[in-house]
Amino acid sequence: MMNKHWQLGLSFTNHHIRLVVFDGHKIVSVSTADLPKPFSQMRAGDPQELAAVLKDLRAKNKTIDGHRDVVVSLGDEEVFTRILTLPPLNGRELLATAPHELESDLPLKADEMYVDMYELRRLPDGQREYMAFAVNRQLVHWLVEGLQAAKFRPRAIETVSLSLGRLQQGNPKPYLTVDVGSDYASMAVFSNDLMHVNTSVAMHDEAWSKLVNEPAPTITLEELTTQYNRLFSELTDNIQATVRYFQNRSDTHEVASVFISGSGAHVPHLDILLNKDLALPVRINKPSITTEVTIDTSYLPAIGAALHGRH
Amino acid sequence: MADINLLPPRFKRIDALDARLTHVYLWLGIALFGLGMVIGTAWYSTYSLNQQSARLSQQITDKIAAAQFDELSGQVRSLASLAEEYQRVFARNRVWEELFTYLEQTIPGDTTVEAVTSTADKTGYLVTVTGTSADRRSIGLFRENLLSYKSQPSQPERVSQVVIESITADASTGRQQFSLKLSFDLNPKTESK
């Protein structure tokens, strides 16, 4: 059940920050701002740089007014996800144990990460499988300081994949979300309102990055197929591996549909290309809630973040 | 959707505190409402009881007052009869005083009164005056004087009738013993004479 509390959703790409204002019923406004330098560089610097961008956003978007609560959707490349198998533990024990379980597999020490998790399933031997999320503490501190300096109140930080999966919440059949950006593509499989798998793949291709950042890119299906064959081969291979991984773990469920988003989703024929390779219905992801403004796919992570905790 | 939150624990604690406070406020509200209901009910019960008590008290007071009124009425009636009696006694004494004064004033010089007795009824007295006199003429004069007795000069005469009951000569003293009967009216009317 949704409440009437206003909540803002914030998402980052490497060059932009996007803000969505949700009044508890509908999307009231969307804003975007250019980052003064790539996010990967900014996040290691002074939080006041972030605060300056956010203050500018607040000044330009009058609908924000005095509303402060914000949920941040971080790119999947910033958040590590792992499936952990652990004995039954209470919440406090889990959060104390998980960083030590994760540090052997991540480029972070236990005391350098913030962790959250949820239970995926119970195994026959009594153990539990958890989907664990870890993020660099330094990044979180930078975000929190920047948000607070701009008079925002951080309510949650999550991943883009969870934000995007939330837009199809309640879908009775398993579905795959694919967020295609200029540098990365991330994908996740959702079933029973739980994200079961989350992977990402680099999309490092100068031409692709240029194409994606065009306001209205034009390209034929044949050009798309031939010019970006290597890129899409890696993408579709990764998607198929992700789907297989899920279906191997699920006895009865198969992925029924694919929802694409991200700045790459507006590249013409991408849906057709993926449909052809994956043999699954492919659609542009979109929120089921009302919007008062025109939105493009680049705002979807921020919209999903704005809906955090509202179901 | 299973939500996660990668904010530092202190932020989550604030969120959890907010959530708990929401429940605290909710329960506090319910408790206050309940308390209000209890107090309201108690107050209304007391008020209602007071009202009923007041009504009952009023009814009892009314009944007591009515009973007291009846009793007082009886007492007043009793007092009225006592007053009447007192008035009679008082009037009789006054009359007697007047009568004796009058007898002293009107008795002839050679006549003495030895006894005055009376019997009373509602309208007046029957007074018997006995004495001795030197002769019959003095007794007749005494009778005439008594007949003209008035309390005040403007009032009607009180003695409506004087009858010489007997005159007997006393050989040893040579005097005439007499007995007069007076009808003494308590409420004389002008035309009653």
Sign of CA pseudo-dihedral B18, B24, B25, B26: positive
Cα gap B91→B122, rounded to integer Å: 12
State whether residue A154 sits within 8 Å of chain B by CB: yes
For chains A and B, CB pairs below 8 A equal: 61
Q: Which residue has the higher pLDDT, A234 or B61?
A: A234
Helix H or strand E segment including A231: helix A229-249
Rg of chain B (C-alpha set): 48
State whether residue A99 sits within 8 Å of chain B by CB: no
Distance between first and last Cα of chain B: 129
Q: Which two tokens stand for residue A28?
A: 């009231």
Q: Which residue has the higher pLDDT, B151 or B62?
A: B62
Q: Name the 3-class secondary structure at A23.
A: coil
pLDDT on residue A32 = 93
Query: Which residues in chain A have their CB less than 8 angstroms from residue B3's CB?
Result: 156, 158, 162, 308-309
State whether residue B14 sits within 8 Å of chain A by CB: no
Helix H or strand E segment including A201: strand A194-202
Stretches where chain A sits below pLDDT 70 are 1-4, 252, 311
Residue B96 has pLDDT above 80, yes or no: no
Confidence of residue B188 (pLDDT cuts 50, 70, 90): low
Residue of A nearest to B16 (CA): A155
CA distance A9 to chain B (A): 14
State whether residue B2 sits within 8 Å of chain A by CB: yes
Cα gap A296→A32, rounded to integer Å: 11
Query: Which residues in chain B have their CB less than 8 angstroms from residue A95's CB?
Result: 9
Residue B86 has pLDDT above 50, yes or no: yes
pLDDT in tens, B118-173: 777 666 778 888 999 988 888 888 888 888 776 666 666 777 788 888 999 888 88
pLDDT on residue A296 = 83
Rg of chain A (C-alpha set): 19
pLDDT on residue A52 = 96
pLDDT on residue A3 = 46
Residue B20 has pLDDT above 70, yes or no: no
Please report, rounded to a whole number, the percentage of residues in chain A having pLDDT higher than 70: 98
Sign of CA pseudo-dihedral A173, A179, A185, A188: negative
Taking CA atoms, A306 is separated from A4, A10, A90, A190, B54, in Å, by: 12, 8, 29, 19, 64
Cα gap A144→A294, rounded to integer Å: 29
pLDDT on residue A35 = 95
DSSP state of B156: P
Helix H or strand E segment including B28: helix B9-106
pLDDT on residue B67 = 82
The answer to whether the Cβ–Cβ distance between A114 and B11 falls below 8 Å is no
Q: Which residue has the higher pLDDT, B93 or B56?
A: B56
pLDDT on residue B152 = 65
Cα gap A282→A259, rounded to integer Å: 6
Pairing of strands A194-202, A184-191: antiparallel
Which stretches of A4-159 are DSSP H helices? Answer: 39-42, 47-60, 91-103, 137-149
Contacts of A219 (CB under 8 A, 6+ apart): A211, A227, A267, A268, A269
